[in-house]
Amino acid sequence: MPIVGRCPACGGTLAVRRLQCADCETAVEGLFSLSRFDLLLPGQVSFLETFLRARGNIREVERLMGLSYPAVRARLDQVLRVLKLDSDEVDARSHGHLEVLDAVERGDLTVDKAVEALRRPD
């Protein structure tokens, strides 16, 4: 059974509190985070799989799914929003990366510190 990332009652994000081995039943308890992909609904996962299978070719996705171009774009935009990869998010992240590189160029930041900053999740 796939992980359910959203609460069926309110739509909030679910948290994983227990992991258990299917063989020996050893359990680990804590508060574990889900990946952003776990927040996708089954239809969104199916769309993303088709999109990847088509190697991002929207015309091929149209053909495979029997959808119009605007419908494919709408679904793609929806998946990007859920994954927090929409253009505003990407632009903000890119801008932050440029600021780090500018700081290295000015000598305000060492290369090691810059690499550390760029690897940090948002």
How far apart CA 45 and CA 1 sit, in angstroms, is 14
| Residue 13, strand partner residues | 6
- Enclosing H/E stretch for 114: helix 111-119
How far apart CA 107 and CA 41 sit, in angstroms, is 46
The dihedral sign for the CA sequence 108, 113, 118, 121: negative
pLDDT digits (tens, 9 = 90+) for 56-103: 999 999 999 999 988 898 899 999 988 888 765 545 555 567 777 777
- Average pLDDT value for the chain: 82
**What is the per-residue DSSP string for 59-78?**
HHHHHHHT--HHHHHHHHHH
Q: Taking the complete model, does pTM exceed 0.75, yes or no?
A: no
